[in-house]
Amino acid sequence: MWVADITYLPVGTGWAYLAIIIDLYSRKVVGWALEDHMRTELVAQAFRQACALREPAPGLLHHSDRGVQYASDAYITLLRRAGAIQSMSRKGNCWDNAVAESFFGTLKQELVHGRRFATTKEARRSETAKKRLRCSTASLRRDGLTIFPR
């Protein structure tokens, strides 16, 4: 099962949007994309990266909130082509996606707190951010989700 979500990061020009996909079995971020927009292509890019890395078998359960990006025809088609089964939170229920939300809280605390990237491009090129996203394991603990390098 994979969970997907989007968060925003402050940049000098406004906001950068980070889409992630976490594999709940391994607790690893298996796909991510960072852009200056929240269009469907953002989440599609993260999903394609995850599929290229993990090559999931048909029947993969993909969970997200009810954001328009995840409910779009283009994204639903992408999921179907990959053989994934779409799952979405009930309306007004954010608890279903708590793992992704908790991951974002930790990521922001470790990477963004007190820092503002000048541009989305600078944020994307941040070596610290890339290392955390590529080589992190999200581990559920009593006090929340913590990121550990491999």
pLDDT in tens, 115-132: 778 888 887 776 556 555
Per-residue pLDDT, averaged over 133-144, amounts to 46
In CATH, what number does 2-149 get? 3.30.420.10
- 3-state DSSP: the chain helix, strand, coil percent, rounded to 5? 40, 35, 25
pTM of the model: 0.81
pLDDT digits (tens, 9 = 90+) for 23-56: 999 888 999 999 999 999 999 999 999 999 999 9
Average per-residue pLDDT in the chain? Answer: 82
CA distances from 5 to 23, 63, 110 (A): 12, 9, 18
Q: Within 10 A of 42 (CB to CB), how many other CB atoms are there?
A: 20
